[in-house]
């Protein structure tokens, strides 16, 4: 009998729609794997799970997917294909741990601390990994805004970021005080914590780090190039008219730079106690400094996304990668 795997996508966060596209990719990858039967459900903002026909289900402690008419289907393994809350934030993983259901991806703690951009930076600093200079704001009060204004004066241009988002939601480039007020209002509407980061003129490098056949694989960095007049925003990531370009392997990096990125990725993967996969994003400045920007514990797997491309470029087959992780977890 095949392994019953449950793909949960959607979720209550701003990346709900992106998650559906990631789920399409995963579904396609497991379609022809004969020993794994995949059921897909979409989670809405209230945590309700619906199937394709609109039927509502819940996940039970008996490790079953229970339909409204009481019929059940065993759940041996879960693929939480949710960017943001409650998947990438680790909340769903906590429930799966509690129910004893194995799942794809990082555990609750690593997920939580990587999804929060503030805790990520604290951990990176503790691990001795350079990350972008920043100020941390815990409220949109006058005192806290003063810190943001100082940062803007000192650095000339900054990125204001909600601490708890992905896909560049709640992320704004700010070059004057008017923009600052607007960006802070929008970021605080999404998150209780906000970062004001120094805006770096950079090349953006991304590494896929994942476990394949028991070994940690760290790919050479790929590169994303946003258009000159903007940054790698939500629109540049997903809109039809996106002008961003991606390269599966960045060119012209020195051996020392490649080695630095490799070591930092390895250290981040170990120190943050990541599992199965992650995409680690770096900035390379004009003067040759490299900063770790962030760690994505459940990177996008849409047609534009870097993680599946880098995995393929490393000579690995996503379908084999995921199905062998599933078989291992069940064995
Ligand atoms: P992801 O979709 O990768 O999860 P995210 O929402 O977590 O994105 P970041 O990766 O931190 O957000 O930032 C989004 C984009 O904003 C970056 O890819 C980059 O283009 C730009 N950016 C962010 N911070 C900086 C910075 N300090 N200097 C220059 N550009 C930046
Ligand atoms: Mg991110
Ligand atoms: Mg993300
Ligand atoms: Mg990023």
pLDDT digits (tens, 9 = 90+) for 12-28: 999 999 999 999 999 99
Q: Measuring from atom 26 of ligand 1, which residue has the nearest CA?
A: 199
Q: Is 205 in the pocket of ligand 1 (CB under 6 A)?
A: no
Query: Residue 232 C-alpha to ligand 3 middle, in angstroms?
Result: 12
Q: Which ligand is nearest to the CA of 202?
A: 1
CATH 3.30.1490.20, the chain: domain bounds: 134-198
Q: Is 106 in the pocket of ligand 1 (CB under 6 A)?
A: no
Q: Measuring from atom 2 of ligand 1, which residue has the nearest CA?
A: 167
- The ranges of the chain with pLDDT < 50 are none
- With vertex at residue 70, the alpha carbon angle to CA 64 and CA 72, rounded to the nearest 5 degrees, is 30
Query: Residue 293 C-alpha to ligand 1 middle, in angstroms?
Result: 7
Residue 304, pLDDT score: 86
Residue 126, pLDDT score: 98
Residue 201, pLDDT score: 82
DSSP E strands, 22-153: 36-43, 49-50, 56-60, 64-67, 72-74, 77-81, 134-137
Q: Which CATH architecture has domain 3-104?
A: 3-Layer(aba) Sandwich (3.40)
Q: Measuring from atom 14 of ligand 1, which residue has the nearest CA?
A: 168
Query: Residue 63 C-alpha to ligand 3 middle, in angstroms?
Result: 29
CATH 3.30.470.20, the chain: domain bounds: 113-130+201-330
Rounded to two decimals, the ipTM of the complex is: 0.98
User: What CATH superfamily is the domain 134-198?
Assistant: ATP-grasp fold, A domain (3.30.1490.20)
Residue 136, pLDDT score: 97
113-130+201-330 has CATH 3.30.470.20 classification: yes
Torsion angle, alpha carbons of 168, 171, 174, 177, to 10: 160
- Bridge partners of 135, per DSSP, are 196
């Amino acid at each position: 009998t095949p392994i019953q795997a449950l793909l949960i996508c959607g979720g209550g966060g701003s990346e709900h729609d992106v998650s559906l596209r990631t789920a399409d990719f995963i579904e396609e990858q497991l379609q022809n794997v004969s020993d794994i039967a995949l059921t897909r459900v979409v989670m809405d903002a209230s945590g309700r799970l619906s199937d394709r026909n609109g039927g509502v289900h819940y996940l039970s402690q008996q490790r079953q997917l229970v339909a409204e008419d009481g019929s059940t289907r065993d759940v041996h393994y879960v693929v939480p294909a949710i960017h943001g809350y409650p998947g990438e934030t680790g909340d769903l993983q906590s429930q799966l741990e509690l129910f004893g259901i194995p799942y794809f991806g990082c555990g609750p703690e690593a997920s939580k601390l990587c999804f929060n951009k503030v805790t990520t930076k604290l951990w990176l600093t503790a691990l001795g990994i350079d990350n972008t200079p920043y100020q941390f704001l815990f409220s949109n009060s006058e005192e806290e805004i003063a810190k943001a204004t100082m940062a803007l004066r000192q650095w000339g241009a900054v990125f204001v970021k909600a601490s708890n988002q992905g896909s560049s939601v709640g992320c704004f480039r700010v070059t004057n005080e008017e923009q600052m007020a607007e960006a802070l209002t929008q970021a605080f509407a999404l998150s209780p914590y906000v970062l004001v980061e120094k805006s770096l003129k950079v090349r953006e490098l991304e590494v896929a780090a994942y476990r394949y056949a028991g070994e940690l694989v760290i790919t050479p960095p790929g590169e994303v190039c946003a258009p000159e007049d903007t940054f790698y925003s939500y629109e540049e990531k997903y809109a039809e008219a996106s002008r961003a370009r991606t390269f599966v392997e960045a060119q012209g990096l020195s051996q020392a730079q490649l080695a630095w990125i490799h070591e930092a990725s390895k250290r981040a993967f170990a120190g943050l106690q990541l599992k199965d996969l992650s995409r680690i994003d770096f900035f390379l400045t004009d003067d040759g400094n490299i900063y770790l920007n962030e760690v994505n514990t459940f990177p996008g797997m849409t047609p534009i996304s870097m993680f599946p491309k880098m995995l393929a470029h490393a000579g690995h087959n996503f379908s084999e990668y995921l199905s062998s992780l599933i078989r291992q977890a069940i064995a």
